[in-house]
Amino acid sequence: MRLVRNRRIKYGWLILTVLLMFVTVRLAWVQLVMKHQRVPGSRHTMVEASLIQRERGIVLDSGRGHFTDRHGQALTGGLTWAAVLFPVTEKELNDSQTQIDRLAKILRTDAKHLKQVWGKQKEPRLWHGKNAAIPLTLTKDQIRQIQELHLPKVKILPYEQRYGNRLSGMQWLGFVSGQRKESLFYQDEPDITGTSGLEKTLDALIRGDGSTIVYYPVNSGNEVIQDLKPMVKAPGNPYYPLRVVTTVDAKIQHGIEQLTENAGMKEGAVVVLDTRNADIVAMVSRPFYNPESIQPEYGAWENRGIKAKAPGSIFKLVTAAAVLEQGLSSPDEVFHCDGEYGKFGLSCWKEGGHGTIGLREGFAESCNVVFAELSERLTASQMQSAAAALGFGQTVGWEAKDFLGLPALRPLDLEQKGTIFSDKANADDAGVRVQTGIGQRDAAVTPLQAANAVVTLLHGGVKTRPRILKQIHYANGQLLKEASPQAERPAKGGISRRTSSILLEWMEDVVQDGTGSTLKDRKWKLAGKSGTAQVTIKGRPRNNQWFIGYGPVEQPRYAIAVLVENRSPNSRNQATDIFGQVADLLASLESGSKSSSAGLSSES
Ligand SMILES: [Zn+2]
């Protein structure tokens, strides 16, 4: 019996030992190997997951790529400091009344409002202030004063203010939406998506490699454990976030934004292109928007630089180009304008008419009668083809197929094509052609197209495609991809060198003795074409005012298009004024950079 029992005990021990060994090995396996593997259905390892259960984080930086101007000046990604208020009890609030009073003053509010907001909080929140969409940016002074209060439930944290909290005319940059980084209690990476502009068109490329997050240890009631230090986690990838270099010059962009503000320009756009390669140097859209707090229904986030509008007389460039290309008139043909063009109830802007007037003068004076007569000589398809040769009726922005794995890339978001004739069926009707030839009826062009048409003329008819995306760099500065400029002379149907240079000369006349003569005394010698289009807005007759052109005439550096929308009929052409101011700004920046570079070379 004893033997049997001993044997049983032996077997029992053996089984137990084997079991224990198994458990030990299994534990070691979990400890040594599995803890570094990802938990199924999560991006965290077991170790991380166990920590995160007891921590809550705030995203300091989403890891998303950033944008710079052509000189590397940052356009996104400023760090600011903000106050985070952690949940408090009513007793805590009442016990520290004097400190609350002082804190309220520092945070630019009153104690009553502060207590009301703070008392209701169930989780940590960044302090905004009354009716502010984004957290209040703290100055050094404010930070010091808050720290001196020694309030344990108030912390100061860095906060990524992607666009700065300002009104901006850079609608081409766009904005992001999604879970805001100030949401403190979350379990997963915030889902931030580019919703408009470059933020949208480049979204797939600039999504980051993980956020920089500060974690706070919390207890089971989600209260922060005060004596445990917060911990910062950042992705260790040297290649991200990517840096997108745009073609825009921030100094010129902001200078023009300021200038349109001072001029009281309410609606419209200003586009400045580099004449060498059609790069977009500035594109300002009014009204301005605040990318930190978007009001979708208000529509200010829309980029009017790429929205098609009735062009009025700037479209006479197309009619003139068509007539010259087809040999249907010559620069010295003489017309007669008595102010009316009876057949279609059309009249010239000049009461009583221009009298006897040559074609060249008719362009400078923007005579409707001359251009109505020219339009009658053209077929709809001849007008269409001249428009296409100058880039109208199609998108002109730089685009690429198969770019860094993207099947197609069009950096300019929602660029419109515009129209020449919207109804092909009646396009050959003389009345339709006559109205289209002076830029009325269905004709619609974008400010970007208008500026680009000037660049195309300056290149003798070579069609250019304005870039806004220049390069993409890795975080370490290494170049990932260059977006090369695009330009091509159309195989057929393009504008000849001869026609181009005639039109450019005529644009000089406009400023020297035509409708743009107020631009005669600007810093640079300028050339261009004015336009006024009659439109109906909310049932009322309104005007779109345009001026497009280039400067300096002797050695063209910039092509400029200005559109001011929704102006009262018979008001002064504000676009011409703004064109002149933009040209002056460019001239002074140009001479400034020249003298500074001259200074540099004399030193070396
Ligand atoms: Zn006339």
pLDDT attached to residue 180: 53
355 CA to middle of ligand 1, Å?
7
Q: Which residue has the higher pLDDT, 519 or 124?
A: 519
Decide: 242 and 476 in contact? Cβ < 8 Å. Answer: no
Q: Confidence band (pLDDT; 50, 70, 90) for 65?
A: very high
Considering only CA atoms, which of 370, 371, 385 is closest in space to residue 427? 385
**Predicted confidence (pLDDT) per residue in 456-499, tens digit:** 999 999 999 999 999 999 988 999 999 999 999 998 889 999 99
Rounded to whole angstroms, the Cα distance separating 591 from 604 reads 20
**Predicted confidence (pLDDT) per residue in 445-464, tens digit:** 999 999 999 999 999 999 99
pLDDT attached to residue 220: 66
Mean pLDDT of 96-118: 93
pLDDT attached to residue 385: 96
What is the SS3 string spanning 31-72?
A: HHCHHHCECCCCCCEHHHHHHHCCEEEEEEECCCCEEECCCC
pLDDT attached to residue 35: 57
Domains along the sequence of the chain with CATH: 78-161 (3.90.1310.10), 250-598 (3.40.710.10)
348 CA to middle of ligand 1, Å?
5
Which of 14-28, 121-135, 188-202, 347-361 has maximum average pLDDT?
Answer: 347-361
Task: Say whether pLDDT at 247 is over 70.
Answer: yes
Decide: 547 and 575 in contact? Cβ < 8 Å. Answer: yes
Pairing of β 243-246 and β 66-68: parallel
341 CA to middle of ligand 1, Å?
9
Decide: 79 and 161 in contact? Cβ < 8 Å. Answer: yes
A 10 A CB-CB count for 420 gives 25
CA 222 to each of CA 86, 228, 368, 445: distance values in angstroms, whole numbers, following the listed order: 10, 14, 74, 57
Which of 22-31, 185-194, 383-392 has maximum average pLDDT?
Answer: 383-392
337 CA to middle of ligand 1, Å?
5
Decide: 427 and 380 in contact? Cβ < 8 Å. Answer: yes
298 CB-near residues (< 8 Å, 6+ apart)? none
**DSSP conformational letter for 156:** E
Considering only CA atoms, which of 99, 197, 88, 83 is closest in space to residue 135? 83
CA 419 to each of CA 406, 431, 439, 443: distance values in angstroms, whole numbers, following the listed order: 29, 17, 11, 5
pLDDT attached to residue 41: 53
359 CA to middle of ligand 1, Å?
11
Bond before 287 cis per omega within 30 degrees = yes
364 CA to middle of ligand 1, Å?
11
**Predicted confidence (pLDDT) per residue in 257-282, tens digit:** 999 999 999 999 999 999 999 999 99
515 CA to middle of ligand 1, Å?
12
556 CA to middle of ligand 1, Å?
30
340 CA to middle of ligand 1, Å?
8
The span from the first CA to the last CA of the chain, in angstroms, equals: 107
Decide: 251 and 258 in contact? Cβ < 8 Å. Answer: no
Rounded to whole angstroms, the Cα distance separating 584 from 582 reads 5
335 CA to middle of ligand 1, Å?
9
544 CA to middle of ligand 1, Å?
20
pLDDT attached to residue 187: 47
Low-confidence winner among 59-73, 259-273, 386-400, 404-418 (lowest mean pLDDT) = 59-73
Mean pLDDT of 435-439: 93
Rounded to whole angstroms, the Cα distance separating 375 from 392 reads 17
Pull the structure tokens for residue 218: 């919390």
Decide: 446 and 416 in contact? Cβ < 8 Å. Answer: yes
310 CA to middle of ligand 1, Å?
20
Q: Which residue has the higher pLDDT, 3 or 479?
A: 479
Which of 180-194, 415-429, 548-562 has maximum average pLDDT?
Answer: 548-562
Q: Confidence band (pLDDT; 50, 70, 90) for 242?
A: very high
365 CA to middle of ligand 1, Å?
7
Pull the structure tokens for residue 167: 């009104």
pLDDT attached to residue 488: 93
366 CA to middle of ligand 1, Å?
7
Mean pLDDT of 422-427: 86
Task: Say whether pLDDT at 79 is over 90.
Answer: no
Amino acid, res. 122: K
349 CA to middle of ligand 1, Å?
7
Amino acid, res. 61: D
108: left (phi over 0), alpha (psi -120 to 50) or beta: left
Rounded to whole angstroms, the Cα distance separating 388 from 12 reads 93
354 CA to middle of ligand 1, Å?
4
Considering only CA atoms, which of 293, 335, 274, 292 is closest in space to residue 487? 274
What sign does the CA torsion over 259, 261, 266, 270 have? positive
55 CA to middle of ligand 1, Å?
76
357 CA to middle of ligand 1, Å?
8
564 CA to middle of ligand 1, Å?
24
- Would you give the distance in Å from CA 303 to the centre of its chain? 7
* Beta partners for residue 358, in sequence order: 334
388 CA to middle of ligand 1, Å?
27
> Quick one: which H or E segment has residue 336?
strand 334-337
Mean pLDDT of 187-192: 61
Average pLDDT, the chain: 87
**DSSP conformational letter for 185:** -
422 CB-near residues (< 8 Å, 6+ apart)? 442
CA 185 to each of CA 60, 114, 321: distance values in angstroms, whole numbers, following the listed order: 13, 21, 63
- Would you give the distance in Å from CA 207 to the centre of its chain? 17
pLDDT attached to residue 183: 53
Task: Say whether pLDDT at 162 is over 90.
Answer: no
Residue 494, judged by CB atoms within 10 A of its CB (0-12, 13-18, 19+), counts as buried
DSSP assignment of 389-433, as one string?
HTTTTS--S--EEEETTEEEE--STT----BS-S-GGGTTSHHHH
